[in-house]
Chains A and B, each alone.
Chain A
Amino acid sequence: MSTGTTKLDVVVSDVVPVNELVTRFHFRRRDGQLLPTFSGGAHVVVEMRDGERTRLNPYSLMGSPLDTREYTISVRRDDAGRGGSLFMHRHVRPGMEMVISYPVNLFSLDLRASKHLMLAGGIGITPFMAQTAQLAADGGNFELHYTCRTASLGTYADVLRERYDRRVRLYHDDRDERIELDRLLSSQPLGTHLYVCGPSGMIGWVCDRAAALGWPAETVHFEHFAAPQPGAPFDVMLAVSGKTIRVGEQQSLLEAIEAAGVDPPYLCRGGVCGQCETNVIAHDGKFIHNDHWLSEEEHRSCKKIMPCVSRFEGRSLVLER
């Protein structure tokens, strides 16, 4: 069993379409007990039994951490994705029994901050739903800047405005509204921490500007679940278990290892937590590193790979698994 991913047997208690792309799913424990405590920014890994295939996708918990009778996630349909969000939208119905992991938080609030400045882009709003609820409950100081494509795709924008009024500022791409980032970052009181969740371009932009304007790295928090990128199939020899496997075009290396009955540790499945770090024993070819965990030096060394998001192109690869 994978580290930290003790499983929870749940039942889908509700499925609520939010807008044309996003649907919300509610889970309760099958035994009627309360779910484990979590903190704002936590995610769960949802297991999807899709025919022969098991999909494991991470989703941020978006309900209030003060209410553990149910967990809620919001899933944006990605028609060009690998199929996890389509499975959720098409096949998950109220009453269905599912298995999810315990919550894990890789994007937690730093509660020493005197103020929390949050920047969300699109579906990146979900962890902030839980974080704002957590902060509001004990008078925490926060400000949320939320960019969405159009008002109708501004998932939960209305809820947030209703709850927090002027602490929430909305920006609509179709109205050409843009965050004045430099001004925003330069006008924050000392002791502010910055949180950003959204498309990778937005995360990169915000982190770069924050660094240039003198925000210490310790005060900048971001969450970016890199979905595994598809690529050419490749073969891998697993030295410890003595198996040779093929990683399919739409499959991640981690998924292929799991499909072969080998169970490496994992938490995020998005290249950030470091749990599935795997040693390379031998290789002849080139690595396609897509993670945010290993250093650039480690990437160049070709001695380690994060199988949840990274791939390989070449003649042979032997891993210590």
Chain B
Amino acid sequence: MAAKSIISRPVYGTLSPQPGKHHLFVTDAEGALAITDLAAKAPYGFFADAHIIFIPGQDGRHVAALEALKPAQFYQGPSFASALPRLKQTLANAHMGLRLYLAGTEGLIGQAMQAALEAGIDHTAIQTEHRGSLARRIQCVHCKGITENVTTQPATCSHCGLLLLVRDHYSRRLAAFQGVCINAEDRSEIPPTEEIFR
């Protein structure tokens, strides 16, 4: 569970069944467990109007547990990027009454929320639950390049190579944390690197 630091740092809750006509779940890896936990609290027939988009991750676990919920639609893909066209298409055709539930890593929650905001869902209307890795998606403020799965502080920008301080400052529009050069005054000064976003 991520701690609150500054106001833009996202905070996540616990998924709970919402009133609605359709339920769209986007989840990765251990996020699946947030959905099975929700299922225990959901009214009978809840998943008959549900659509689950799942990115299982390397170990491929939890697929059977989600399929056992018998959602109306179930999709699994190798990466968020591979699932994104399906997510966008689903949102483009959706009506009011669709509820969105995001569970898993911050990168997945952030990017799915980005697509949802573009489709007109207010971020406060989206159910989120953080599970699994704390790895961050960051944007380098200098070259604007995005680096995925950052686990260290500081981190190296995968585009311009600057050493970046990973801040808690978060952009919903970019679905990324901000990375700022940590040694701009003296590039020879290299602070120790710690793995803190595991």
A contacts, CB < 8 Å to B: 112-114, 185-192, 211-219
Q: Is the CB of A191 within 8 A of B120?
A: yes
Chain B residues within an 8 Å CB radius of A217: 125
Cβ-closest chain A residue relative to B118: A191
**With A212-B19, A219-B125 known to touch, is A187 a contact of B120 (CB < 8 Å)?**
no
- Total number of A-B contacts with CB less than 8 angstroms? 59
Q: Is the CB of A215 within 8 A of B96?
A: yes
Chain B residues within an 8 Å CB radius of A189: 94-96, 120
Q: Is the CB of B97 within 8 A of A215?
A: yes
Interface residues of B in 168-187 (CB under 8 A from A): none
**How many residues in B have their beta carbons less than 8 Å from beta carbons of A?**
18
Chain A proximity of B19: nearest CB distance (Å): 5
Cβ-closest chain A residue relative to B125: A216
B contacts, CB < 8 Å to A: 18-22, 91, 94-99, 119-122, 124-125
Chain A residues within an 8 Å CB radius of B99: 214
From A114, A211, A214, contact of B21 by CB (8 A): A214
Chain B residues within an 8 Å CB radius of A214: 18-22, 96-99
Chain A residues within an 8 Å CB radius of B124: 216, 218
Cβ-closest chain B residue relative to A188: B96
Can you name 10 A-B pairs with beta carbons within 8 Å? A186-B21, A190-B91, A190-B96, A190-B119, A191-B119, A214-B19, A214-B20, A214-B98, A217-B125, A218-B124
Chain B residues within an 8 Å CB radius of A187: 95
From B95, B119, B121, contact of A188 by CB (8 A): B95
Chain B residues within an 8 Å CB radius of A190: 91, 94-96, 98, 119-121
CA distance A114 to B99 in the complex (A): 17
From A113, A114, A185, contact of B97 by CB (8 A): A185
CA distance A213 to B21 in the complex (A): 6
Chain A residues within an 8 Å CB radius of B19: 211-214
Cβ-closest chain B residue relative to A194: B96
Cβ-closest chain B residue relative to A191: B120
From B94, B119, B122, contact of A216 by CB (8 A): B122
